[in-house]
Amino acid sequence: MSGRPRPPTTRRYAAVDLGAASGRVMVGEVGDGRLELTEAHRFPNEPVRLPDGLHWDIVRLYRELLAGLHRCGDGPVSVGIDSWAVDYGLIDRQGALLGLPYHYRDSRTETVAVPDPGRYAVTGTQHLPFNTVFQLLAEPRGRLAAAERVLLVPDLLGYWLTGQVGTERTNASTTALYDARGGDWATGLIDGLGLRRDLFPALRDPGSPIGTLASHTGLDLPLVAVGSHDTASAVVAVPALAADFAYISAGTWSLVGVELPAPVLTERSRAENFTNELGVDNTIRYLRNVMGLWLLQECQRGWREPDTRALLAAAASAAPFASLVDPDDPTFLAPGDMPARIDAYCARTGQPVPADRPAYVRCVMESLALSHRAALRAAARLSGRTINAVHLIGGGARNELLCQLTADASGLPVVAGPVEATALGNVLVQARADGGPADLPAMRALVAATQPLRRFEPTGDPGAWDSAAARIGLATPSASGAEVHRTASGADGGGAAVQRSGAGRRKAAVKRPDNGRRD
């Protein structure tokens, strides 16, 4: 820990935060003017390819999270678990797991079709080929018949820890089986798809107690429901002090959107592939999923090049707009040779193939910035929400090139940080359940007052970004004063990345041993 004595009002909470590439257990300290994280344990999250497809090694994740909890030291008040969305395990009537959970990048859903008469008007869920609904319909009927419950990944781990069955509400809203208006499972849709209602457990709210860890864990610690979809936890920790913001939770995926009081269930919203996911305190995370840093991660895996910082530095000096791709093209979804796929896309669209690694990285970063711009403009237009600033949170906040290009492309200031937004949101929801910050504004004010942030102002020629967007089919209606407010500094070319002043900050710290990512 920090070595400083903790004030009597400071309380400690354990956050299990599982991403698509790695997991970690963090300890958060929350008190008067204090919000501090320390990493207790980090571990890789590596899928397993078996004869029947691509799976998560969920047993290893369980073992690693237990090891991490044992390393948290004395005094955590509680623990909360968040993870990626949509994937699940099936348990039978004896509580046994029916096989390893499938990975959302497995190909088994490619041929699954779900009739869509009015489905979006009920669930408000973006069409993604790996949504839980498609995965369930791809299950062999014998396996579903043997199943007693469907448990999303955090709920499955919580079941093993406590023996308690349930589904946390923010993650349920990602399944395409949740009624966005009714606030419960969409039983009419479930019936219409031939699924059993009793597969889906009762719903839990963030902040509600789940149970005490069982004796086999060797720990006497209560498990508390948090925003168990990692983006729901991350959005809790957006350091916004006003409502006119958008967010980008940037990691393997970029989740780009705004926070609303009610879902947008229009046909136009469906056509533009926006999703309405539940946030903490029944807010709506109105967003679009963009492929994100997955393209860069797969390039690095193929190159066996772990030095992200060096790649980005070289890419910053590479020629702009030489080659561009649509990151959401289906060809980029599955694991594999990403540079070869970028080459094929460029050849197919009459563009030069990137000449070297810096050119590939520049291509990925500019393409992702253009996707961010398109999603931001669409979110503003479809929701009616004015956007005056973008908060880029998660591991992508370390990527200065991405932050600056997103500011340039969108014409909006980008506030980068906190990097550890998901773990912070997880901890803050636990702290509120323990008598801490009273509401979302109070939680966000604490984040803004204690966490290091950087501000990137728009630079360059907006017309160049317009032309680039048109090349890959991402041209969007021009930003208007009623939707997205381009900053004055974006017009005059001013504004390099500015470190937010630390003056007046109170006991801010995030201590970690490495430069890991947020998925």
What pLDDT digit, counting tens, does each position of 74-89 carry?
889 999 999 999 999 9
438 by Cβ neighbours in 10 Å (0-12 / 13-18 / 19+) ranks as exposed
Q: Which residues pair with 79 in a beta bridge?
A: 14, 223
- Token representation of residue 261: 């009081």
Where do we find the tokens 């009002």? 9
- pLDDT at position 128 is 85
Residue 155 is among the residues annotated as catalytic for this protein: no
pLDDT, residue 491, reads: 30
C-alpha 88: how far from chain center: 17
Q: Which of 17, 87, 230, 408 is catalytic?
A: 230
- Spans in the chain with pLDDT lower than 50: 1-4, 6-7, 478-482, 487-519
pLDDT at 129: 87
C-alpha distances (whole Å) from 93 to each of 15, 198, 286, 354, 385 are: 30, 12, 37, 54, 47
Burial of 187 (0-12, 13-18, 19+ CB in 10 A): middle
Q: How far apart are the C-alpha atoms of 398 and 402, rounded to whole Å?
A: 9
> What sign does the dihedral 8-14-19-21 (CA atoms) show?
positive
**Concatenated DSSP letters for 453-488?**
-EEE---S-HHHHHHHHHHTT---PPP-TTTB---H
Close Cβ partners of 480 (under 8 Å, ≥ 6 residues apart):
none
pLDDT at 420: 95
pLDDT at 31: 94
Instruction: Quote the pTM value.
Output: 0.89
Q: Which two tokens stand for residue 94?
A: 């004896």
Q: Check residue 86 and give left, alpha or beta (phi > 0: left; psi -120 to 50: alpha).
A: left
75: left (phi over 0), alpha (psi -120 to 50) or beta: left
Which one-letter amino acid corresponds to residue 113? A
* Opening angle at CA 294, ends 290 and 298, nearest 5: 150
